[in-house]
Amino acid sequence: SIENIYTKNFLAQKVHDHYHQLAARNVLVNIVWSPSHVGISGNERADRAAKESLNMDLTTEQMQLHTDLQSCLRESIISKWQNAWSFSNTKLSEIQPTIMTTNLPSMNRKNTVIIRRLRIGHTRKTHGYLFENQDPPYCECNEPLSVNHFLSQCPLQLEIRSKYHIGMDLKKDLSLPKSIINVLNFLRDTNLYNFI
C-alpha cells in the first residue's frame, strides 16, 4: 500500500504526505519492512496472544477506511431517502418511483417546465384557483380538473389521447422521451399548452 502513490488507503496517504514533507526539508527517510518481532519480549507476547486468539470463538470487526465509511454512509442515506420517498404522498412519487433523477429529453425551457409541472401535478390550469381564492376547477365533463384527469381519464379527450398514444400509463407518458413529445403535442391540440 505504501508503494502505491495513488492509494486510497488513508494511513498510506498519511505516510506518503509525511515522507514528502521530510524530503522537502532534505531529510533522508528510509522505510524498512520489518517482517517479525523476533527478540522483543513485549512483541513476542503480543504475537502469542494473537495466535491464541485464532482458536477462540470471537467476532472481529475490521477497521473501516474512510472510503469504506463514505460509501456505507452514502448507501445508508440513499436508502433512507428512497424509503421516505416511497411512502410519501406526492404526485411526483407516483410518476417517478425512485429518487434517482430521470433525464428529460433535450427540450427548450418552456417544455421542460411544462413536463415538470405535469409530473408534480401542479399546473396553472389545475391549481391556479389557489392564487385567486376561487373554487377548484371542473372539466367540461363535470369532473374535478387534475393532471391525471385530462391526460388519462377525460372522456372528451379520448380521441386526441388515442391519436398521440397517451393516457394508459401516466408514469410512462411523463418519463419516456417519445411519450413526452406526444404529451406536448396533445397539450397543443387541446389548447392546454399555454395554461400549464
Provide mean pLDDT across the span 8-29: 81
Per-residue model confidence as pLDDT tens digits over 112-149: 999 989 988 889 998 889 888 899 999 999 999 999 99
DSSP, residue by residue, 148-176? HIIIII-GGGHHHHHHTT-SS-HHHHTTS
Contact 170, 179 (CB under 8 A): no
pLDDT score recorded for residue 73: 83
Residues 35-64 have pLDDT tens digits of: 665 666 667 777 778 777 777 776 656 656
d(CA 94, CA 78): 18
Contact in structure between 82 and 98 (CB atoms under 8 Å):
yes
% the chain with pLDDT above 70: 81
Residue 164: per-residue pLDDT = 94
- CA 116 and chain centroid, separation: 17
- pLDDT of res. 38: 62
**pTM higher than 0.75, yes or no?**
no
Read off the pLDDT band of 95 (50, 70, 90).
low
The predicted pLDDT at position 191 comes to 92
Task: Say yes or no to pLDDT of 1 above 60.
Answer: no
